[in-house]
């Protein structure tokens, strides 16, 4: 069965946005909806998503500012703007902010779905989207790379595609060690400095997700990579 991707939708239009959420969920996406930037950021501090859909004109904080703050939390999270603003200046500003796409209202739900799938293909290498029936035991955790779920007792953490791939690299590597260069090539197919900083962010997130088992630790190996210790 095709795994579900999690979409974060931030839009203060309380009439349209629930319809967008419902449509995406009929297309086998998981969609979380917030009407304010503050609520969306609070969610992203504890959860990872695969792509964000951001309205531009919102009270208190606009979509451009929200996109900048999302990038600080997770530099690799792709986003697109969904807005009633059709002027050229806003479109250029949105693309300059790093948006993968820009869709104006009114829009076709089908077009939005297709544009999301294009973004996901761009950010998710083929070997990361194949489902798997294998499970890994990591200390007290059970990790399912197929569903991208990390479970301990009654707590389940949904991982992003890249987080899942990174954790899986630990699981299949001898003695739970991954070399930095190998991980960069395997996940992103390059070794540039921006990707390296991004990987540090993902390692930090995995440390947070695994902290409920005090016997687990991910340590930096100076000049080499990382090792996952289970005492």
pLDDT single digits (tens) 107-146:
899 999 988 988 887 765 544 444 444 788 999 999 998 8
User: What is the residue whose two structure tokens read 């449509």?
Assistant: 23
**Taking a C-beta distance cutoff of 8 angstroms, is the pair 167, 207 a contact?**
no
Closest to 165 in 3D by CA, of 135, 119, 125:
125
What's the rounded Cα separation, in Å, for the pair 83 and 15? 14
- Structure token pair of residue 22: 């419902």
CB 216 within 8 A of CB 210: yes
How far apart (Å, rounded) are the C-alpha atoms in residues 10 and 55?
6
User: What tens digit of pLDDT does each residue of 4-45 get?
Assistant: 789 999 999 999 999 999 999 998 799 999 999 999 999 988
Tell me: pLDDT of 1 over 50: no
pLDDT above 70 as % of the chain: 90
The helix/strand/coil state of 71 is helix
pLDDT at 194: 56
Q: How many CA atoms lie within 13 A of 165 on its CB side?
A: 20
Nearest-angstrom CA–CA distance, 202 and 208: 10
Residue 157 CB contacts under 8 Å (≥ 6 apart), including other chains: 149, 150, 151, 209
> Where do the domains of the chain lie, and which CATH numbers do they carry?
6-123 (3.40.50.2300), 129-230 (1.10.10.10)
Distance (Å, rounded) from C-alpha 184 to C-alpha 32? 29
Q: Which residue has the tokens 């690299």?
A: 169
Q: Residue 45: count other Cβ atoms within 10 Å of its Cβ.
A: 9
Q: What is the pLDDT of residue 11?
A: 93
Of these ranges, 64-73, 124-133, 164-173, 211-220, the one predicted with the greatest mean pLDDT is 211-220
């Amino acid at each position: 069965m095709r795994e579900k991707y999690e979409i974060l939708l931030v839009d203060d239009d309380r009439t349209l946005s629930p319809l967008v959420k419902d449509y995406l969920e009929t297309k086998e996406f998981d969609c979380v909806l917030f009407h304010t930037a503050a609520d969306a950021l609070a969610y992203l501090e504890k959860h990872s998503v695969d792509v964000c859909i951001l309205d531009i004109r919102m009270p208190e904080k606009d979509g451009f500012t929200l996109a900048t703050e999302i990038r600080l939390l997770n530099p690799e999270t792709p986003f697109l703007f969904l807005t009633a603003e059709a002027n050229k200046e806003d479109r250029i500003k949105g693309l300059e902010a790093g948006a993968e796409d820009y869709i104006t209202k009114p829009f076709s739900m089908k077009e939005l779905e297709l544009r999301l799938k294009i973004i996901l293909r761009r950010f998710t290498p083929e070997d990361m989207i194949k489902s798997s029936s294998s499970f890994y035991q990591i200390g007290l955790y059970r990790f399912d790379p197929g569903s991208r779920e990390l479970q301990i007792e009654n707590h389940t953490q949904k991982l992003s595609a890249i987080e899942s791939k990174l954790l899986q690299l630990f699981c299949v590597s001898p003695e739970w060690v991954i070399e930095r260069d190998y991980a960069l090539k395997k996940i992103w197919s390059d070794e540039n400095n921006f990707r390296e900083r991004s990987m540090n962010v993902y390692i930090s997130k995995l440390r947070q997700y695994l902290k409920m088992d005090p016997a687990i630790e991910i340590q930096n190996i100076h000049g080499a990579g990382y090792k996952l210790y289970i005492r």
